[in-house]
C-alpha cells in the first residue's frame, strides 16, 4: 500500500499566525457549536454601535454612520476579493462599479434626475422605490462589468490594471460631464430610501437622514441592513467558491495558461468573476446612495479604488472573512484618529498620513495580509470535505499498524 | 426605449467640433507636444522601474510633485517672489536660474525616489513579497508623501506657507515670447525649452540604458536578475540607480511643468499627471524608453485634439479611451516591452 500523497489540510498549523489558529479551531467544532458561537458573535457586532464601547467607538464621527460605511466597504471588499483575490485579476477601477450602482438608484429615484421623473412611476416612487432599484442596480452594474470585461479581459496583469484604472476615471468623468443625464457636478439630491418604521418622531421612517439623534439613528439602521446584505453575499460567494466556478477562478489565478490547457474556459470564467464582482459593487453603491441620499461624482475618484484594494490586500486576498477585517481597518482607522486631539493639533488632519504609514508597515511586516487565504480542498459541502479528509488522517495514523502486520 | 432616450441625450451633450481641429491643427499639435514631452519624462521613470522590478511605482507621481516643490524652494532661496508678472532677467541669467532650479528639483526628486526605494521597497524585496504587496506599499507611500506636503510641511512656516491644501502662488521665471511661426502655429520660447529639454533628457536616458556599461547592468537585471547577479552585477545597486534616474527625470519634468503651469504646485498636483504618464508608458510599451517618449507625445497630442473635438471636459476621457483602444490592437503597447530583450 502506497503512502497517501494528499496533503492533510486539516492538520493544525501551529505558528502560522492567529488566522490559522482561529480557522483550525473553527473547522474542528461541530456544527451546532459553530451556530452557537457564530450567531451571538454576529449579534454582538450588530449591537456595537448601540453599546458604543468607550475606547473603540469613534468620537468625532458618528459611530453608527461609520459602521454603516464599514458595511458598504465590506461588501465592496468581498466583491473585489472575487476579482483580485480569487481570480487574480488586478482591478484598479472598481470604484466605477460602485459609482454605477449608486447612480442607477439615484437616477431612478432622485427628483433632480434629468432622465427620469420619479414623481409618478409607481414602482420607482414611494416607500419601496429604493428596494425596487436595488436589483436593477445589481443587474445594470453587472452589465457594465460585461461591457468593461469583454474587450479588456484578454489583457494580462498590469495592462489590465491600467485599463481598469482608466475605466474607473471614465465613469467618474462621464458622471461629471454628462450633465443632461447625470446632473453633472451638482449631483442628485433626495435619493429615496426604504420608508419603514414611521413614527411621530421620525415621519420619514428610521432609514431617513432625519433620524439623526439618539442611539438608534439612521446610521445604525443602515448598518444593520448592510450587515444582512454582507451575510447574504458571504453565503453566495462562499457557495460559488466551493463550486466549479470557484475552482476555475483559483486555477486561473495560479496559472492561466495551465488552466486553459486543462480545459477551463478562462475567458468565460474571468468574465464571470468581473460580472459577479461588479454586481456586488453595484449593490454596495445602491446602499451608499440610499444612506447618503445624495450622489455626486466627487465620491468616486481613483483614490477610492486604491482604498478598496488596500482593504482586500490588508485583510488577506482570497479570504472573504479576512477582507471584511481589512474593510473595517480602512474605514475605522481614519475615523478613529479624527477625534483625537494632541495639544492644539487635531490628529484628524494626519489621518491619511498615519494610514499610509500603517499600510507600508503592514506590508513590510505582514506582506500576505492579516488573514491570508490558505490552500485547501474546495468541495461542495462540509460532509464531502470531511469524508475526503478524514480517511487521510485515519490512514496516516494507521500506516504504522498496517506495516507491522504485513 | 429608455436606453434609446439616454443615447439621444448623450449625443446632444457631446459636441462634435471637427472644424476647430482643422483650423487650429498646428497650434494644437505644438501645445500637445509640450504636454506630451512632460508626460514622456515622467513616463521614463515608470518604465525603468517597471522594466527592472515589474512594479507599478504608484508613488512616482509624488516624486514628481516633490520635485515641483523642490524647484520652487530653490527659486525662493534665489530671492524670487511669487508675482503675477514674469521676470525679465535677460536670456543668460534666466537660463542660469533655470538650470539651478532644475538641478535642485532633480536632486530633491532623485533623493525622494531613492529614499522611497530604501524605506519601502527594499524590505519587501528582502522578504520576497508578491507584486500586489509592492503596489499597496506604493499606494501607502503615495499617501505619506502627499499628506506630508499637505499637513506637515505648512507647520515649518514660510509666508505664504509651503504646502497646505492650496496651490503655491506661481513664480513666473520666463517671460513667454513668440519666437517664430511653424505653419500657422506660434512657437514660444517656453515651448522650445520644454520640448527641447525633454527630448535631450530622454535621449540621454536612452543612451545611458542602451550604450553604457551601467545600462547593460540595468538591462541584464531586467532580463534575468539571478543570472545578472551571477555575472557580477549588483542587483541592489542597479535598482537604486534605476530609481535615481527615474527620480532625476521626474524632477526635471517638474520644473518644465511649472514653467508651463506656474500655479500647479500643490500637494495632489502630481496625481493625474502621474496616471497620464503611466498610461503613456503603457501606450508606448512599458519597459521601453523610446516607447515612453512615443507614448507620451502621442497621448499629449491626441488628448489635445480630443479636447477640441469633444470639448475640454472630455480631455482625460479621450486619453484613457485611446489607451484602451491601442491595447486592444497591441496588447503590449506600440513598441512592445523592449528593455527586457537582449541587445549586444
- Residues B89 and B95: their CA atoms lie apart, in Å, by 9
Q: B141 at the A interface (CB within 8 A)?
A: yes
Q: Which of A84, A174, A356 sits opposite B140 (nearest CB)?
A: A356
Identify the pLDDT of residue A243.
87
Could you check whether the bond before residue A30 is cis, i.e. omega within 30 degrees of 0? Answer: no
Output phi, psi for B187, to 5 deg: -105, 120
- Taking CB atoms and an 8 Å limit, are B151 and A353 in contact across chains? yes
> A84 to chain B: which residues are within 8 Å by CB?
132
SS3 A353: helix
> B148 to chain A: which residues are within 8 Å by CB?
353
pLDDT digits (tens, 9 = 90+) for B303-317: 999 888 888 888 888
- Residues B222 and B27: their CA atoms lie apart, in Å, by 40
> B325 to chain A: which residues are within 8 Å by CB?
none
Q: Chain A, 10-49: which have a CB under 8 Å from a chain B CB?
A: none
Q: B307 at the A interface (CB within 8 A)?
A: no
B37 touches B198 (CB < 8 A): yes
Which of A301, A308, A364 should be substituted to probe chain B, the one whose Cβ sees the most B Cβ atoms within 10 Å? A364
> B53 to chain A: which residues are within 8 Å by CB?
none
Identify the pLDDT of residue A286.
93
SS3 A188: strand
Residue A85: DSSP 8-state:
I
Identify the pLDDT of residue A12.
47
B139 touches B56 (CB < 8 A): no
**What grid cell was written down for A106?**
439615484
Q: Which of A284, A283, A322, A378 is nearest to A85 (CA)?
A: A322
Q: Which of A233, A262, A266 is nearest to A249 (CA)?
A: A266
B208 touches B245 (CB < 8 A): yes
Q: How does DSSP assign B285-344, residue by residue?
A: -TT-HHHHHHHHHHHHHHHHHHHHHT-GGGHHHHHHHHHHHHHHH-TT-SS---TTS---
**What grid cell was written down for A127?**
416607500
Kindly tell me if the per-residue pLDDT of B260 is higher than 80.
yes
A133 touches A124 (CB < 8 A): yes
Q: A367 at the B interface (CB within 8 A)?
A: yes
Q: What percent of chain B has pLDDT over 90?
A: 35
> A267 to chain B: which residues are within 8 Å by CB?
none
Q: Chain A, 69-128: which have a CB under 8 Å from a chain B CB?
A: 84, 90, 114-116
Output phi, psi for A59, to 5 deg: -100, -40
**Phi-psi region for residue B30, left (φ > 0), alpha (ψ -120 to 50) or beta?**
alpha
Degrees to nearest 5, angle at CA A158 with A155 and A160: 40
Strand intervals (E) in A222-377: 341-342, 345-346
Q: Which of B12, B321, B327 sits opposite A159 (nearest CB)?
A: B327
> B123 to chain A: which residues are within 8 Å by CB?
364
- Residues B286 and B167: their CA atoms lie apart, in Å, by 32
- Residues A304 and A310: their CA atoms lie apart, in Å, by 10
pLDDT by residue, tens only, chain A of 406 residues: 344 433 444 444 445 677 778 887 887 788 888 888 888 888 888 888 888 777 777 777 788 888 999 999 999 999 999 999 899 898 988 999 999 999 999 888 887 777 766 556 556 666 778 888 899 999 999 999 999 999 888 887 778 888 898 899 899 999 988 888 888 888 888 888 887 777 777 777 778 777 777 777 888 889 999 999 999 999 999 889 888 899 999 999 988 899 999 999 999 999 999 999 999 999 999 999 988 888 889 889 888 888 898 899 888 888 888 899 999 988 988 888 877 777 777 777 787 888 888 888 888 888 888 888 777 666 555 666 666 666 565 656 555 444 444 3
Query: Quick one: A56 exposed, middle or buried, by C-beta within 10 A (0-12, 13-18, 19+)?
Result: exposed
pLDDT digits (tens, 9 = 90+) for B275-287: 899 999 988 888 8
Q: B95 at the A interface (CB within 8 A)?
A: no
Cα distance from B101 to chain A (closest Cα, Å)?
Answer: 28
Q: B81 at the A interface (CB within 8 A)?
A: no
**From residue A35, how far is each of A4, A40, A240, B312 by CA, in Å?**
33, 8, 21, 58
Q: B103 at the A interface (CB within 8 A)?
A: no
**What grid cell was written down for A81?**
476579493
Q: Which of A151, A163, A309 sits opposite B323 (nearest CB)?
A: A163
Q: Which of A159, A306, A363 sits opposite B133 (nearest CB)?
A: A363
A281 touches A76 (CB < 8 A): yes
Q: Which of A294, A242, A246 is nearest to A269 (CA)?
A: A246
Strand intervals (E) in A341-384: 341-342, 345-346
**From residue B112, how far is each of B65, B68, B240 by CA, in Å?**
10, 12, 11
Q: Which of B119, B278, B328 sits opposite A162 (nearest CB)?
A: B278
What does the longest C-alpha to C-alpha distance in chain A come to?
A: 84
- Taking CB atoms and an 8 Å limit, are B317 and A306 in contact across chains? no
- Residues A360 and A357: their CA atoms lie apart, in Å, by 5
User: Residues B253, B259, B261, B263: is their CA dihedral positive or negative?
Assistant: positive
End-to-end C-alpha distance for chain B, whole angstroms: 62
Q: What is the ipTM of this complex?
A: 0.83
Q: Chain B, 181-220: which have a CB under 8 Å from a chain A CB?
A: none
SS3 B56: coil
Identify the pLDDT of residue B250.
95
By CA distance, what is A362's nearest residue in B? B137
> A350 to chain B: which residues are within 8 Å by CB?
147, 151-152
B190 touches B259 (CB < 8 A): yes
Residue A185: DSSP 8-state:
G
Q: A375 at the B interface (CB within 8 A)?
A: no
- Residues A320 and A308: their CA atoms lie apart, in Å, by 14
B34 touches B300 (CB < 8 A): yes
**What grid cell was written down for B152?**
506637515
Cα distance from B129 to chain A (closest Cα, Å)?
Answer: 6
Identify the pLDDT of residue A316.
85
Q: B107 at the A interface (CB within 8 A)?
A: no
Q: B136 at the A interface (CB within 8 A)?
A: yes
Helices B91-116 and B60-77, packing angle to 10 deg: 140
* C-alpha of B220 from chain center: 25
Cα distance from B270 to chain A (closest Cα, Å)?
Answer: 13
By CA distance, what is B119's nearest residue in A? A360
- Taking CB atoms and an 8 Å limit, are A163 and B313 in contact across chains? no
- Taking CB atoms and an 8 Å limit, are B147 and A356 in contact across chains? yes
- Residues B35 and B42: their CA atoms lie apart, in Å, by 11
- Taking CB atoms and an 8 Å limit, are A155 and B135 in contact across chains? no
Identify the pLDDT of residue B344.
35
> Averaged over B51-80, what is the pLDDT?
89
Residue that is written with C-alpha cell 553604457 in the block: B212
Q: How confident is the model at residue B5 (pLDDT cuts 50, 70, 90)?
A: very low
SS3 B188: strand
What is the value of pTM for the model shown? 0.85
pLDDT digits (tens, 9 = 90+) for B214-245: 889 998 998 888 999 999 999 999 999 999 99
Residue B104: CB atoms within 10 A of its CB come to: 21
By CA distance, what is B137's nearest residue in A? A360
- Residues A324 and A63: their CA atoms lie apart, in Å, by 17
- Residues A133 and A123: their CA atoms lie apart, in Å, by 9
pLDDT digits (tens, 9 = 90+) for A179-200: 888 888 888 888 888 877 777 7
Q: A302 at the B interface (CB within 8 A)?
A: yes
Residue A81: DSSP 8-state:
I
- Residues B288 and B268: their CA atoms lie apart, in Å, by 27
- Residues A51 and B195: their CA atoms lie apart, in Å, by 63
Q: B130 at the A interface (CB within 8 A)?
A: yes
Which of B3, B125, B317, B337 should be substituted to probe chain A, the one whose Cβ sees the most A Cβ atoms within 10 Å? B317
Element (H, E) at B182: strand B178-182
Q: Which of A325-329, B24-28, B56-60 has the lowest mean pLDDT?
A: B24-28
- Taking CB atoms and an 8 Å limit, are A353 and B120 in contact across chains? no
Query: Quick one: B184 exposed, middle or buried, by C-beta within 10 A (0-12, 13-18, 19+)?
Result: exposed
Amino acid at each position: 500500500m502506497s503512502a497517501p500523497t494528499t496533503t492533510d489540510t486539516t492538520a493544525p498549523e501551529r505558528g502560522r499566525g492567529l488566522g490559522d489558529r482561529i480557522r483550525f479551531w473553527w473547522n474542528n467544532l461541530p456544527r451546532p457549536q459553530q451556530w452557537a458561537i457564530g450567531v451571538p458573535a454576529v449579534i454582538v457586532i450588530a449591537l456595537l454601535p448601540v453599546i458604543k464601547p468607550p475606547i473603540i467607538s469613534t468620537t468625532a464621527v458618528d459611530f453608527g454612520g461609520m459602521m454603516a460605511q464599514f458595511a458598504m466597504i465590506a461588501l465592496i471588499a468581498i466583491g473585489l476579493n472575487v476579482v483580485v483575490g480569487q481570480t487574480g485579476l488586478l482591478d484598479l477601477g472598481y470604484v466605477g462599479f460602485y459609482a454605477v450602482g449608486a447612480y442607477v438608484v439615484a437616477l431612478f429615484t432622485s427628483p433632480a434626475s434629468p432622465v427620469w421623473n420619479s414623481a409618478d412611476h409607481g414602482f420607482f416612487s414611494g416607500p419601496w422605490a429604493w428596494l425596487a432599484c436595488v436589483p436593477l442596480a445589481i443587474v445594470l452594474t453587472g452589465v457594465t462589468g460585461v461591457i468593461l470585461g469583454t474587450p479588456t479581459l484578454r489583457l494580462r496583469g498590469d495592462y489590465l490594471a491600467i485599463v481598469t484604472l482608466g475605466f474607473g476615471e471614465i465613469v467618474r468623468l462621464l458622471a461629471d460631464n454628462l450633465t443632461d443625464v447625470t446632473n453633472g457636478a451638482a449631483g442628485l439630491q433626495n435619493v429615496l430610501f426604504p420608508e419603514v418604521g414611521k413614527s411621530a418622531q421620525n415621519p420619514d421612517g428610521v432609514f431617513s437622514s432625519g433620524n439623526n439623534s439618539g442611539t438608534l439613528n439612521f446610521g445604525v439602521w443602515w448598518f444593520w441592513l448592510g450587515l444582512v446584505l454582507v451575510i447574504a453575499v458571504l453565503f453566495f460567494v462562499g457557495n460559488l467558491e466551493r463550486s466549479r466556478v470557484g475552482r476555475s477562478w483559483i486555477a486561473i489565478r495560479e496559472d492561466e495558461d495551465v488552466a486553459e490547457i486543462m480545459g477551463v474556459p478562462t475567458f468565460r470564467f474571468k468574465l464571470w468573476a468581473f460580472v459577479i464582482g461588479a454586481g456586488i459593487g453595484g449593490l454596495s453603491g445602491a446602499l451608499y446612495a440610499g444612506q447618503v441620499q445624495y450622489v455626486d461624482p466627487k465620491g468616486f475618484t481613483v483614490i477610492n479604488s486604491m482604498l478598496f484594494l488596500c482593504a482586500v490586500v490588508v485583510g488577506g486576498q482570497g479570504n472573504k472573512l479576512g477582507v471584511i477585517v481589512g474593510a473595517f481597518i480602512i474605514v475605522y482607522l481614519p475615523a478613529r484618529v479624527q477625534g483625537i486631539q494632541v495639544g492644539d493639533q487635531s490628529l484628524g488632519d494626519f489621518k491619511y498620513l498615519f494610514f499610509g504609514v500603517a499600510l507600508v508597515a503592514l506590508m513590510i511586516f505582514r506582506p500576505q495580509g492579516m488573514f491570508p487565504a490558505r490552500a485547501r480542498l474546495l468541495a461542495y459541502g462540509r460532509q464531502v470535505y470531511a469524508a475526503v479528509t478524514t480517511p487521510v488522517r485515519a490512514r496516516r495514523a494507521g500506516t504504522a499498524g498496517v506495516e507491522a502486520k504485513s | 426605449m429608455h436606453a434609446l432616450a439616454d443615447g439621444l441625450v448623450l449625443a446632444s451633450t457631446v459636441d462634435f467640433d471637427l472644424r476647430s481641429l482643422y483650423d487650429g491643427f498646428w497650434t494644437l499639435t505644438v501645445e500637445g507636444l509640450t504636454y506630451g514631452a512632460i508626460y514622456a519624462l515622467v513616463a521614463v521613470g515608470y518604465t525603468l522601474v517597471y522594466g527592472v522590478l515589474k512594479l507599478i511605482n504608484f508613488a512616482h507621481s509624488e516624486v514628481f510633485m516633490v520635485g515641483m516643490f523642490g524647484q520652487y524652494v530653490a527659486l525662493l532661496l534665489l530671492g524670487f517672489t511669487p508675482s503675477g508678472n514674469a521676470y525679465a532677467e535677460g536670456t543668460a541669467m534666466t537660463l542660469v536660474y533655470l538650470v539651478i532650479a532644475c538641478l535642485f528639483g532633480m536632486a530633491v526628486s532623485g533623493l525622494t525616489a531613492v529614499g522611497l526605494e530604501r524605506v519601502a521597497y527594499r524590505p519587501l524585496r528582502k522578504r520576497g513579497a508578491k507584486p500586489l504587496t509592492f503596489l499597496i506599499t506604493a499606494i501607502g507611500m503615495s499617501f505619506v508623501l502627499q499628506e506630508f506636503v499637505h499637513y506637515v510641511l505648512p507647520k515649518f512656516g514660510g509666508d505664504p506657507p509651503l504646502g497646505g491644501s492650496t496651490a503655491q502662488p506661481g513664480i513666473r521665471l520666463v517671460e513667454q515670447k513668440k519666437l517664430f511661426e511653424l505653419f500657422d502655429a506660434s512657437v514660444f520660447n517656453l515651448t522650445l525649452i520644454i520640448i527641447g529639454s525633454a527630448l535631450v533628457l530622454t535621449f540621454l536616458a536612452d543612451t545611458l540604458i542602451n550604450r553604457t556599461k551601467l545600462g547593460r547592468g540595468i538591462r541584464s537585471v531586467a532580463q534575468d536578475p539571478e543570472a545578472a547577479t551571477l555575472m557580477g552585477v549588483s542587483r541592489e545597486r542597479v535598482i537604486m540607480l534605476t530609481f535615481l534616474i527615474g527620480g532625476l527625470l521626474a524632477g526635471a519634468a517638474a520644473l518644465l511643468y511649472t514653467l508651463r503651469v506656474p500655479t500647479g504646485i500643490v500637494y495632489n498636483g502630481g496625481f493625474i499627471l502621474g496616471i497620464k504618464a503611466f498610461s503613456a508608458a503603457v501606450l508606448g510599451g512599458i519597459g521601453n524608453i523610446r516607447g515612453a517618449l512615443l507614448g507620451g507625445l502621442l497621448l499629449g497630442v491626441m488628448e489635445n485634439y480630443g479636447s477640441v473635438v469633444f470639448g475640454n471636459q472630455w480631455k482625460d476621457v479621450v486619453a484613457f479611451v485611446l489607451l484602451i483602444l491601442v491595447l486592444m490592437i497591441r496588447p503590449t503597447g506600440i513598441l512592445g516591452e523592449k528593455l527586457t530583450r537582449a541587445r549586444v
